[in-house]
Structure 1
Amino acid sequence: MRHLPLFLLLLALSVCARAVEPRWLVAPAISPDGQRVAFCYQGVLYVVDAKGGEARPLTTGNDYATLPIWSPKGDQLAYASDRYGNFDIYTLPAEGGQPVRITFGSQTDTPLCFTPGGDSVLYRSLEMPSASSALFYARWTGGIYRVSTKGGPADLQLPMPTGNACYSPDGKSILLEDLRGVENGLRKHHTSSTTRDIWLYSVGTGKLERLMTRDGEDRNPVFAPGGQRFYFLSERDGGSFNVYEAPLANGADAKAVTTFAKLPVRYLSASRSGVLCYTFDGQIYTQTPGQEPNVLKIDINRPNDQMDSVNRTLTSGAHGGVISPDGKEVAFENHGDIYVSNIEYGNTRRITNTPGMERSVSWAKDGRTLVYAGERNGSWNLYLAKIARDDEKHFAIATEVLEEPLLVTEKETFQPLFSPDGKEVAFLEDRTKLKVINLASKQVRQLTDGRYNYSYSDGDIAYDWSPDSKWIALTYNPKHRWPNNEIGIISASGGEIFNLTLSGYTDSNPRWMMGGDMLIWSSDRNGLRSHASWGAQEDVYAFFTSQEAYDRYRLTPFEFEELGNGKKDKDDGEKKDDKKGKKDGKDKDEVKPIKLDFNHAEDRIVRLTIHSSDLSDAIVTPDGKSLYYLCSFEDKYNLWKTDLRKKTTSKVLDVNTSGGAITLDAKGENILISAGGSLVKVDLKGEKQKKVAYSAPFTHRGQAEREGMYDHAWRQVVKKFYRSDLHGVDWDYYRNAYGKFLPYINNNYDFADLLSELLGELNASHTGSGYRHAGGPGAASTASLGVFFDRGYKGPGVRVTEVLRNGPFDKADSKVKPGSVITKINGLAVSNYGQLPLLLDQQAGKRIRIDVKNGGTETSEVAKPISSGQLSSLLYDRWVEQRRHEVDSLSHGRLGYVHIQAMNGSSFRTIYSDLFGRYNDREGVVIDTRYNGGGHLHEDVEVLFSGKKYLDQVPREHIVSEQPRKRWKKPSVMLVAEANYSNAHGTPWVYKTMGIGKLVGRPVPGTMTSVWWETLVDPTLYFGIPIVGYVDSTGHYLENQQLEPDYEVWMDYQRLERGHDSQLEKAVEVLLQEADRVKASSPWPKVEEKFLK
């Protein structure tokens, strides 16, 4: 059944939204006396009577204000605001007034609660850790800090990564929820080691007690009156999030307070008397335990200043650019609409004007017709756009462009491509079936049935028409070795696919060249190998469709010039044929059928590039003389050229882009590079580039666009989720259950949360949505000095406890050492640690002057602060170095240590180098995969660590090497934890299943799927869908199948703060025992004694 677009279902509601009670009210907090509720609606902070009524705004709406918390007396509120690009903590009077910023810096700060005296605020943040801490530094691992309501330096209260926290009535304890992994916070219904637990922290003694021990979500704890019981949100009993109550003495003895179904309860708070406040179904509820919930009827009379549509001009962000046949225009997509721009003058014509999405534009041979795909009416369909008037030759100057549907069905039909003769259009149906529609008859024929293709992300299946419109070259997967595709050729009339490449390597992007004499593609068979599923270097290969074309290619420059392979005679014959054709009235543009000889095709395949590279796209000029290709050898992509006759290669132009596509005009005189949101035309005769400047008129319809993006994401799940049963979720129900809130959302923060709530119902990893908030020109960007400070030092100045290796002060002549006091930055006095974010804002990479005091000596020096990303990298290197020394110390030099930072090629190279460099003579190695976010490395890790010794190399009774030399042959143990994600679940699973070694640490949640993170039509928004599952020999998916360690060890955060890693200590203990066992039972030491004199 066709599903109507959501915007049609919501049209009536959106029209009258201002006249009804607002929905999607978030982050409510009830006041301590239970009389008022603060909440957030559309990024504005409000206060309303606890019985409902008219809400009073406290903020202006120029920022996004959220997560309010009340002071104990109820006279102040603290909240988070993105006024300076990131979320900082602000306070303001509960009756309204001027907000006061109390935290600074470009990290995210989240308010948790006031201290009992009301003079400070506890908040969660990722700040520079203490020098003693062994906690891994990552975006989610921040601890609890305490800052005065007047601002100033913040003190670390608890190093444990925390979600929510609140003080007990007597101020002696803090209830908190932990954070142990990277799973989206709005995922629902999962039971794993990464779900949140509730803990009790004793402020006086520092004791931490875990109150919940179940593998399921328990979060958002608040104390009940008296402080002996607490309320919290939980998904226990197999339902959605509801409010529960439990005694501190026995957290397992929990009783349900609410019994809502299908949708989650969120944002729990409580007054001193125990009145609860929370949200459900987009509304705010209050409830006295033992009584029925009461929904607040809230009226917001703030005028809606959101315009239904805003006209803008787009000058960047173009994608999918293709040059017109005559080389004068370029068609492209920008923010979901199709445009055509004149390359020389920049005049731009908007072709489509919808809040949805159009893409994959293709030119007809006449240059007056376009075909593209549009997501409308519940599916992707094909549309034609034509210049209406005969006297207007180009789109950019056309006064009228007519659109007509070419193919509208319930199927997904997109990626259209005009045949060179302009009579047909090839397209994909349901992403894998290649079909062709005849423009005259509108008849559709199927070329492939989809068995030999799989589409990971939309647009990843490439195909190309032959110049005579008789054949189509395509990528396909006939041997079940995805993503190692082959290149095939199929008749445009249908039939069997001819496998051209027959390769175990990855072949992609086929394109016909030289009038059909040549087919080129990319292959990684000769490039530097990747140790993951991506990153291998590629070359351009060519297949010559006939022996004649191949023989001509093989001529030397001398032979080509002297003999011409009959070129003159051939040209004379063609000229005579042209004259005869004119007399006969034949079409002078008629293309002759290409000669396509499949016999011994492999003998006519050649490598065109002379060096492998990170290859993006390529074309060959019609005369076959030159190969132009876009590639990278370092960071950016540039245009290179190979003279195919002389076999010389040179860089033609510095394009300095991030990769992209090349299209060639019909005459072969110009190419267009579409890359990185920009369009560049290159005149091949002069080899000069010209950036295509365009001014694309764009109408931004925020409400309609959000509805379209929501509907798009919902449909993508239907079409691409890794299981067709969608985990048994009633997806139609949830589409409407969450979609009804769209008329009340006017910003991307709320939209990303709404979409995450929808996707969270799937109970799958790799879901949720995110908002890439740019921050604007005034956004904070805090640099770092690359040193650890003594937070207890009272000043004046800040005292250094450690200088980071490779940081700004790790220099031979630097006077900044442990014990140094920094007193000034750029001449401004530093009174305490809290000033640093302001003094270092926007200073990364800039020369600044630092005044330093060492004892009684004062000096100054120049340094360049580093960015937050550079700081993170240095802290990671330090963390690894500390683990390495710890293993070395605990094992007395017998064991090695490697950390796999990510499941990618660079991480593999690092551990490979360490294994056979630092640790080749060690008896075993600890493999640490904790805090690894994934990638695709399980095969490589399995091969690397599963080696078995079978030979020694012994010249003249002297052992010089063991074999195998490229695989680790000694014992190992693998460290795992709750924060292992995606392939960092799959890799330990393979390691354990294949019997390579033991796992030590905490259980790993079952998240082994492959994901597509799709950027939406608004490029600041994205969402994830797990689209490839992995099934074991019992027929079970690894997704949601938790991996249990052989030795379970909880992380003690307080010991961790003092530098002790309990999990690492256990791993060393286990591995030493295994090394002793192997050493005692192996025959090789006896053999080696024979040769070791």
Structure 2
Amino acid sequence: MTAWEFTTKSSVGRLTANASFFCRVATHRMAGPSVHSRSASMAVYRSRFQWTKAACSLIPLTVRSSLTNTSEDIPHTDWTDSFPMWHGNTIYFTSDRGPEHHLNLYSYDVSSKQVEQLTHYAEWDVMWPSLGPDAVIFENAGYLYTYDFQSKQPKKVTIELPADRPAALKHWDNVGRLATDFDIAPDGKRAVFSARGDVFTVPAKEGSVRNVTRTPGIREQKVSWSPDGRWIAYVSDRTGEDEIYISPQDGLGKEQQITSGYKGFKFAPVWSPDSKKIAWGDKDINLWWIDITEKKPVKVDHDDYAEITNYNWSPDSKWLAYDKQSENNYAVVYLYSLPDQKSTAVTSSLNNSYDAVFDPEGKYLYFLSDRDFNEVLGNVDFEFANPKTTRVYIVTLKKDEQSPLGVQSDETEIKSKEPSPMIMDQDVATDPKGKKASKNDKNASEDDKDKGKDKDKDKDKKEKPVEVKIDLDGIQSRVVALPTDPAVIRTFAAGKGFLYYSTVAAQGLDGPLPGESTAVHAYDLKDRKEKTLIEGVERFALSFDGSKLLYEGEGGNPRAAHTYGIIDAKPAGEAKKVGDGVLSLNGMRAEIDPPQEWKNVFNEVWRQERDYFYEAEMNGVDWQKMHDKYAQLLPAVSDRYSLTYILGEMIGELSNSHTYVGGGDYPDLHPVNVGLLGVDYELDESSGRYRIKKIYPGENWNAELRSPLTEPGINVKEGDYLLAVNGQQLRAPQDPYQAFVNTGNETVTLTVNSKPSEDSSRNVVVKPINDEYNLRELNMINTNRKKVDDATGGKVGYVYLPDMGSPGLNEFVKQYFPQLRKQGLIIDIRYNGGGFVDELIFERLRRILAGMGSARNWQSGTVPSNVFNGPMVCLTNHYAASDGDLFSYMFKYYKLGPLIGERTWGGVRGIRGEFPLMDGGYITRPEFARYDLTSQWIVENRGVQPDIVVTNRPEQVVSGKDPQLDRAIEEVMKGIQANPKQLPPRPPALPPYPAGPS
């Protein structure tokens, strides 16, 4: 019986006759589902990864004989072959190799080796074929068809299946866990959230949760509460495109559409303090503002490099502060005058400055900037990093305004109101009651009246709105820094007399560095002191009056609601914790109409690709036609799984890499783990007991590479029998893995023995792991390194990079530097999962020896440090993907050595973070493309052709052979022999300097 193990690196396997035990059958590391011939002596399989309608599918269908230990590929093109099915002497499969370039049904005659196209669908793919005794049944355009082997014609199958479609029924749900953005009421008494397409307000203490919009199937998001408390602004797709709307905050009035006529995504609307205007950015990297009464948008600026997403109003609503990116990738802060319709740079492009906000009193502009450079040097390599560069900076808006951080001076207060005797003159006398007064009492009385009037004037002056005056001339020279430590700052806001900012720990690729925590800080400009306001918070919103702060605390479960709370903005006493002032989101209930929601998700996915795909021409695809084509299937969707399938098919029409679909409103499943020991089992047929065939050693000092049976004191060895788990006997036909269900990282008692009996057995206590892939990969690395070491007499090093992310960079550091003094180097990126760090690796690989450094008692070292001074080769294959593609390409481009193996995957269009869909799902948008110095697109849909093509056949892999690695050893040794590179020796000591002239 055939089985397929879907792990990080899958494999084809077989089940024993009684279907009790899965045994891996070595094919290749990315093997997908397999089918056998009737005699079970032959199998056909393909990779589990495939392209859709892209002329770069490199993986053929492979037929392997277990009798002769040979394999052959079904004749293959650069298109996709899938779904192999074996019937008699014929293998049926789907392929888009035909002129239609859609998946159709094909046959392959095992004897004649001929391929024949059987169907000719030009609009829809043949999907999910399944073999019957005399026909293949498949799906096309949402309908079932059979292909009869006798008539050789497809026939539509009509099925009437009454169904309740429970997943499509209307229902009510608590949507708090899907909150995507938030804001706080101007007085801090309520918070506003967008969740699952609706807008809710939640009371700080008393009152009920209000659903302001109540629009099933329409998505409102990016909420903002007006400073006067009356309105809530948000972005809605009611019209089919993103437009800005406002609704009364109590949900009782009529919604108003503010913008119209623009096709594209909008970023969060921001209210002006007078509650009459709104600013926003758009996907076309423009910044706009609009009067909510006149509804005529005004364009503020355009950025040539990135979206404008940071923009804030002056307290008099006459200025906008924003930042946009300059040519050197540094952001520059600008001030835009609404009356003058003119922008002025406040900062220089010599510094990265952003997130500008106005002082509520209109005296200052605050912003973040990366200007602190206390570089950190690496312990392994002589390289620097700058993890903490950011502080808050202040610019005075008027030339004669003193900085809030200006010079302070303690002065003595004069308590007596009487004039000093030293300055009395003839006009000052003593009245009959002994009081000193002017000779002219009438004038004194009038002066008192004038003072009273002045006090009234002062009162009137305080009640007048702030008018912001800005001296633009010389403004860049009036910048000062807040006297705090540089940090990693996330959220920033300004209140009257206080600045608020969240800081997080410096980030490594694997997460935050230990020893630091996330917190919101309040800086008191009067006392000039920083205080921690609340710990464990990164995102927050400050109320317009500056009295309250709404925070978001991370939830432990990604599908659970975050914790939100409202606290006083003025620090007092100990720092707050997440949970203080907590808000109850239990009342955030919305009516869910799944078919309408699915339609919304479908349309947004289509719009996301339309607006963010790397080129507007959409790879030549008529994108509106694709929308209309796949929208026909929406009425047949009965659950989120079906919708996800349609979304994947639609974006697959782009014939582009990195078009992924995931997430959404699925039932909450609670999978259990299976504890693993890091071993291979084999069945002793005679006793029905399981024997430990191989133990994969790890690095037990590393939690990611812990091997349970090799830990100190366990003393279990290869060849021992596993007799029982937690006292439960283990015998065939029970699968050994079944005994470890839900035991990952839990204490387990194993009964083991050197023979298949209880006699003299012993118990050991271990803690199984949840995933043993890392152990198996480590075994592969060590096996290959030993092979290279043995074959070259220790002259050649071996470095394996599993991806171009954190694991790959960590492995590079771990493996590369200890092997620097080898004479040659093999870099293996086969099966590389991609990422983004290839540039960092090439910074090291491309170093050129320029000289040597020496000291009296030390061995000489290279200049620059850590230079590899010998020939290199790089191994690649079909599964080197994304940044693995680019590494292969750049290795050839830099001429570091021969590239050996097979053509790479061929997908290099880059993506960034997802925009969550209404129900929490996501897709990816290929936004970033690569081209060369001759302005030609590179790699995508073509891959990288190696300099030396070598293929590892399945039968060679089964026999433990690796022709690709063998060729790499051969080539690097040729390089060593042809041009041996030794480090130059230390020169002889200098002779005495000649004596000077007499």
Is TM-score (shorter-chain normalized) higher than 0.5?
yes
CA distance in 1, matches of 2:686, 2:454: 94
Instruction: Pick closer, same or farther for the CA change 1:501–1:254 going to 2, 3 Å.
Output: farther
Q: 1:469 aligns with which of 304, 317, 325?
A: 317
Please identify, of 155-164 and 779-788, the stretch whose mean Cα deviation from structure 2 is larger: 155-164
Alignment of 1:45-124 (within 5 A): 121-124=1-4
Residues 950-989 of structure 1 show CA distances to partners (whole Å, capped at 9, x for unaligned) of 1211345975321111554443222222112222212221
User: 565, 568, 571: which is aligned to 1:685?
Assistant: 571
Structure 1 segment 587-626 matched on structure 2, within 5 A:
588=463, 590-595=465-470, 597=472, 599=474, 601=476, 604-606=479-481, 609-613=484-488, 615-624=489-498
Find the partner of 2:825 among 911, 925, 934: 925
Q: Partners of 1:626 and 1:979 in 2: how far apart?
A: 48
Q: Tell me what 1:804 maps to.
A: 697
Contact 1:378 1:410 (C-alpha < 8 Å) held by counterparts: no
For residues 676-707 of structure 1, the C-alpha deviation after alignment (integer angstroms, 9 at most, x for no partner) is 43323332333433222222021111111111
1:444 correspondence with 2:297: yes
Q: Which amino acid aligns with 2:336?
A: I
Secondary structure of 1:420 counterpart: coil
After superposition, the C-alpha distances for 1:560-615 in whole angstroms (9 at most, x for unaligned) are 66599xxxxxxxx99999943765xx8926123154555162562426541434x4
Which TM-score applies when normalising by structure 2?
0.84
The AA in structure 2 aligned to 1:1065 is D
Question: Cα deviation per residue 1:156-202 (whole Å; 9 max; x = unaligned)?
Answer: 345444334333344432232334xx4xx4x422122x443112121
Deviation at 1:383, TM superposition (A): 0.3
Give the 5 Å matches for 1:667-746. Answer: 667-676=545-554, 677-683=562-568, 684-686=570-572, 687-688=575-576, 689-694=580-585, 695-746=587-638
Q: Does 1:580 align with 2:457?
A: yes
Shift of 1:807: 2.2
2:400 and 2:682 mapped to 1: Cα distance? Answer: 75
C-alpha distance in 2 between matches for 1:1042 and 1:222 = 29
* Offset, 1:307: 5.2
1:118 equivalent in structure 2: none
Q: Give the Cα–Cα distance (whole angstroms) in 1 for the partners of residues 732 and 942 of structure 2.
A: 49
TM-score calculated relative to the size of structure 1: 0.77
Aligned residues: 912
Aligned partner letter, 1:221: P
Q: Pick from 490, 493, 508: which aligns with 2:336?
A: 490
Equivalent residues of 1:212, 1:218 under 8 A apart: no
Is 1:208 aligned to residue 71 of structure 2?
yes
1:433 has 2:286 as partner: yes
- Post-superposition Cα deviations, 1:922-941, rounded to whole Å, max 9, x if no partner, equal 12322222222222223323
- Does the alignment pair 1:638 with 2:539? no
Counterparts in 2 of 1:143 and 1:852: CA distance versus 1, 3 Å: same
Q: SS at the partner of 2:186?
A: coil
The CA distance in 2 between the partners of 1:1029 and 1:668, in whole Å, is 44
Check 1:722–1:626 CA distance in 2 against 1; reply closer, same or farther (3 A cut): closer
Aligned partner of 1:174 in structure 2 is: 43
CA shift digits 1:753-774 (9 cap, x unpaired): 1111111111000113124787
Aligned amino acid, residue 755 of structure 1? L
Q: Determine if contact 1:486/1:506 at 8 Å carries over to the other structure.
A: yes
Mapped contact 1:372–1:416 kept (Cα < 8 A)? yes
AA aligned to 1:540 is R
Identify which of 519, 529, 546 aligns with 2:366: 519
- Is 1:176–1:199's contact at 8 Å kept on the other side of the alignment? yes
Deviations along 1:10-39, whole A, 9 cap, x unmatched? Answer: xxxxxxxxxxxxxxxxxxxxxxxxxxxxxx
Listed one character per residue, the Cα deviations across residues 292-341 of structure 1 (whole Å, up to 9, x for unaligned) are 42111211123444553101223433232212110111111112221111
Over 3 Å counting, the alpha-carbon distance change for 1:1045 and 1:386 in structure 2 is same
TM-superposed deviation, 1:549: 9.5
Q: d(CA) in 2 for partners of 1:231 and 1:785?
A: 38
Q: Which residue of 1 aligns with 2:52?
A: 188
Q: Once the 2 structures are TM-superposed, how far is the Cα of residue 207 of structure 1 from its aligned partner? A: 2.1
8 A contact 2:100–2:121 mirrored in 1: no
Q: Paired residue for 2:837, among 937, 940, 943?
A: 937
Partners of 1:928 and 1:216 lie apart in 2 by 27
What residue identity is the alignment partner of 2:390?
Answer: D
Q: Is the 8 Å Cα contact of residues 501 and 522 (structure 2) preserved in structure 1?
A: yes
Q: In the alignment, what sits opposite 2:541?
A: 663
What is the rounded CA distance, in whole Å, between the counterparts of 1:747 and 1:575 in structure 2?
Answer: 75
Residues 327-366 of structure 1 mapped to structure 2, 5 A cutoff: 327-345=188-206, 347-354=208-215, 355-366=217-228
Q: Is the 8 A contact 2:490 2:502 kept in 1?
A: no
Match of 1:235 among 86, 91, 97: 97
- For the pair 1:279 / 2:139, whether they are aligned, the reply is yes
Write the deviation string for residues 975-1009 of structure 1: whole angstroms up to 9, x where unpaired. 22211222221222122112222211211132111
Q: Secondary structure at the match of 2:862?
A: strand
Mean alpha-carbon deviation: is it higher for 169-178 or for 627-636?
Answer: 627-636
Higher gyration radius (CA): 2
What is the alpha-carbon distance in structure 2 between the residues aligned to residue 911 and residue 647 of structure 1? 46
How far apart are 1:451 and its partner, in Å?
Answer: 4.1
Separation in 2, partners of 1:346, 1:786? 56
Look up the equivalent residue of 1:864 and give its one-letter code: K
Match of 2:803 in 1: 902
CA distance in 1, matches of 2:180, 2:384: 25
Output the CA distance in 2 between the equivalents of 1:407 and 1:292: 55
CA RMSD of aligned residues (A): 3.6
Cα distance in structure 1, aligned partners of 2:929 and 2:102: 25
CA 1:775–1:1076 in 2, change beyond 3 Å: closer, same or farther? farther
* Contact 1:513/1:622 (<8 A) preserved: yes
Report deviation, 1:506: 5.2
Q: Does 1:885 align with 2:885?
A: no
Shift, 1:434, TM fit: 0.5
Instruction: Judge conservation of contact 2:374–2:386 (CA < 8 Å) in 1.
Output: no
| Corresponding residue SS for 2:925 | strand
Secondary structure of 2:816's aligned partner: helix
The one of 236, 255, 263 aligned to 2:116 = 255
Deviations 1:816-837 (A, max 9, x none): 2323322222222222484444
- Describe the shift of the 1:787–1:503 C-alpha distance in structure 2 as closer, same or farther (beyond 3 A): farther
Q: Closer, same or farther in 2 for the Cα pair 1:934/1:232, shift >3 Å?
A: closer
Q: Distance in 2 between matches of 1:211 and 1:640?
A: 62
Unaligned 5+ residue runs, structure 2? Answer: 414-449, 507-511, 555-561, 699-705, 991-998
Partner of 2:509: none
Going from structure 1 to structure 2, the CA distance change for 1:969 and 1:1035 (only over 3 Å counts) comes to: same
Partner of 2:435: none
Distance 1:991 1:824, change over 3 A: same
Say if 2:610 is the partner of 1:749: no
In the other structure, the counterpart of 2:421 is: none
What secondary structure is seen at the aligned counterpart in 2 of 1:1028?
Answer: coil
Q: SS at the partner of 1:1009?
A: coil
State how far apart, in whole Å, the 2-side matches of 1:528 and 1:145 are. Answer: 55
CA displacement at 1:373 relative to structure 2: 0.4
Contact persistence 1:505–1:525 (CA under 8 A): no
| Residue 971 of structure 2, aligned match among 1057, 1070, 1075 | 1070
In structure 1, the residue matched to 2:24 is 156
Which stretch has the larger CA shift, 365-374 or 633-642?
Answer: 633-642
Q: Tell me the equivalent position of 1:267.
A: 128
Report what 2:108 is aligned to.
Answer: 246
Unaligned 5+ runs, structure 1: 1-120, 127-137, 388-394, 565-572
Among the aligned pairs, what percent are the same residue?
A: 19
